[in-house]
């Protein structure tokens, strides 16, 4: 795989005009590359003008054979390998690289990577806060190629997705965290096995002096501990571990060879308990990176949660409204149901774009006190078919209607939970817009 400087003055096609593609275009234009940026959609006039000012030629509304008239192709994460022109480039042995690899090669300091099916953004953000002076980058919205020149020697905490890892070859962090594994993005990867392979390949590239931080409570993840050649630290909510971290009473216990055992108290706030697995994972990773226990404890003490992930929005007359819009697969929704069921009967708002996932995987996670499911989006008919025989299910044309129905079901005490288990693109621009719409609907209802 080529480094950024190896591409100097060469003819390059960039597939995708999203954040990753634009970061690659900016970096390559600076060193005199001849660029074609190809996107299946039609980016905004502002994005088109930005790319044209870089000197890039544009191909919008679909990829054509022009994309293959290049010396190198930079593939954005959203472009799957089975789609033309990537599929054709692979058969032609046309060199392919990624923004993740090109950005990694610029960095001169240690990289701490976070991946997994759920919790990546949360743990990456916590780890960034626990490592003073670090840069937060990657799939979180700040591509590695956009790390400023004056920060290249600083530690970089990078959230990385399965899409990025599928293509990555040079990306080799000092430390990598694998939070959990459950089927996701099957419309992109084709099979669950391919998705798991994309996630786990990274851990086989880690150097022996590096760290793999693995979830001891997830059998698929824990299996890696005996397969990788790097140092391993485990984290667990349910049992002590010799190297890593675990929960004992109200404390997180951290144990690493050659370091003193540390106990960090967990706040008693419900939100902190909902996020406990993420808090332990971040604490173990920070401590493995020689993070100061005081810095770890300070972050935990101040922790209030994150937008769109088990986010308490309001409480009215004994009813909690919780925004978990970032739950885009059944595994994430099952996690949310488990955490909030103790607050009372749960009315679940479910649905959207299913991404090839089987929503029936959620059936074993339905709590006994489920008040019902309000179905939204393209997955409505599937939800009615799958869950109708098990519980009350009602369709809603809008998210606002869904909130009203769910509230009527659980009052005077319970939980209205938006945890869709699906992508948002059938109704909203992204999960953030979906979550904001939910919050606005709740505020109108409770005023």
Using one digit for the tens of pLDDT, what is the confidence trace for 220-231? 999 999 999 999
Burial of 160 (0-12, 13-18, 19+ CB in 10 A): buried
Does 5 have pLDDT greater than 70? yes
Assign 346 a pLDDT band (cuts: 50, 70, 90).
Answer: very high
Inter-CA distances, 59 with 65, 171, 255, 411, Å: 11, 29, 53, 53
Assign 264 a pLDDT band (cuts: 50, 70, 90).
Answer: very high
Q: What is the pLDDT of residues 92-120, one digit of tens each?
A: 999 999 999 999 999 999 999 999 989 99
Q: What is the pLDDT of residues 351-377, one digit of tens each?
A: 999 988 899 999 999 999 999 999 999
Q: Collapse the DSSP code of 19 into the 3-class scheme (helix H, G, I; strand E, B; otherwise coil) and give the result.
A: helix
Does 15 have pLDDT greater than 80? yes
The structural domains of the chain, ordered by start, are 4-97 (3.40.50.720), 101-302 (3.40.1190.10), 311-446 (3.90.190.20)
Question: What is the average per-residue pLDDT within 81-102?
Answer: 94
Q: What percentage of the chain carries pLDDT values higher than 70?
A: 100
Per-residue confidence (pLDDT) for residue 189, from 0 to 100 = 81
The β-bridge partners of 114 are 159, 177
Assign 349 a pLDDT band (cuts: 50, 70, 90).
Answer: very high
Q: What is the arrangement of strands in the sheet containing 346-351, beginning at the earlier edge strand?
A: 311-316, 319-323, 414-418, 346-351, 370-376, 393-395
Question: What is the average per-residue pLDDT within 291-300?
Answer: 95
Per-residue confidence (pLDDT) for residue 192, from 0 to 100 = 82
Assign 1 a pLDDT band (cuts: 50, 70, 90).
Answer: low
The β-bridge partners of 48 are none
Per-residue confidence (pLDDT) for residue 414, from 0 to 100 = 96
Instruction: Enumerate helices (H) and strands (E) in the chain, giving the number of each.
Output: 16, 20
Question: What is the average per-residue pLDDT within 71-89?
Answer: 93
Inter-CA distances, 212 with 200, 204, 230, Å: 11, 10, 7
Q: Collapse the DSSP code of 350 into the 3-class scheme (helix H, G, I; strand E, B; otherwise coil) and give the result.
A: strand
């Amino acid at each position: 795989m080529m480094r950024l400087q190896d591409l100097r003055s060469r003819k390059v096609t960039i597939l995708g005009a999203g954040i990753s593609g634009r970061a690659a275009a900016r970096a390559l234009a600076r060193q005199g590359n001849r660029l074609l940026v190809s996107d299946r959609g039609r980016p905004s006039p502002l994005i088109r003008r930005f790319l044209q000012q870089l000197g890039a030629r544009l191909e919008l509304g679909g990829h054509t054979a022009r994309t293959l008239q290049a010396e190198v192709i930079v593939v954005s994460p959203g472009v799957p390998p089975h789609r033309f022109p990537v599929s054709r480039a692979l058969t032609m042995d046309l060199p392919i690289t990624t923004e993740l690899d090109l950005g990694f090669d610029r960095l001169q300091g240690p990289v701490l990577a976070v991946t997994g099916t759920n919790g990546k953004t949360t743990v990456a953000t916590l780890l960034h806060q626990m490592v003073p002076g670090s840069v937060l980058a990657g799939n979180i919205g700040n591509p590695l190629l956009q790390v400023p020149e004056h920060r290249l020697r600083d530690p970089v905490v990078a959230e990385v997705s399965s899409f990025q890892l599928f293509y990555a070859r040079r990306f080799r962090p000092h430390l990598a965290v694998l939070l959990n594994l459950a089927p996701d993005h099957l419309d992109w990867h084709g099979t669950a096995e391919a998705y798991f392979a994309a996630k786990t390949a990274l851990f086989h590239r880690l150097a022996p002096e590096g760290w793999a931080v693995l979830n001891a409570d997830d059998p698929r993840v824990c299996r890696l501990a005996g397969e990788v050649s790097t140092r391993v630290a485990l984290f667990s909510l349910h049992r002590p571990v010799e190297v890593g971290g675990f929960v004992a009473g109200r404390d997180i216990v951290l144990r690493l060879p050659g370091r003193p055992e540390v106990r960090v108290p967990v706040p008693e706030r419900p939100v902190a308990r909902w996020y406990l697995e993420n808090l332990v994972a971040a604490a173990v990773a920070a401590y493995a990176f020689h993070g100061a226990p005081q810095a770890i404890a300070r972050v935990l003490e101040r922790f209030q949660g994150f937008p769109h992930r088990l986010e308490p929005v309001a409480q009215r007359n004994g009813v909690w409204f919780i925004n978990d819009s970032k739950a885009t697969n059944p595994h994430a929704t099952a996690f949310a149901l488990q955490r909030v069921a103790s607050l009372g009967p749960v009315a679940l708002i479910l649905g959207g774009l299913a991404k090839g996932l089987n929503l029936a995987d959620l059936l074993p996670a339905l709590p006994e006190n489920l008040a019902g499911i309000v179905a939204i989006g393209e997955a409505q008919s599937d939800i009615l078919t799958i869950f109708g025989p098990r519980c009350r299910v009602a369709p809603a044309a809008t998210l606002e209607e869904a909130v009203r129905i769910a509230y009527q079901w659980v009052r005077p005490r319970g939980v209205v939970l938006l945890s869709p288990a699906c992508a948002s693109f059938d109704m909203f621009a992204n999960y953030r817009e979906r979550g904001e719409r939910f919050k606005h609907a709740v505020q109108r209802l409770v005023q």
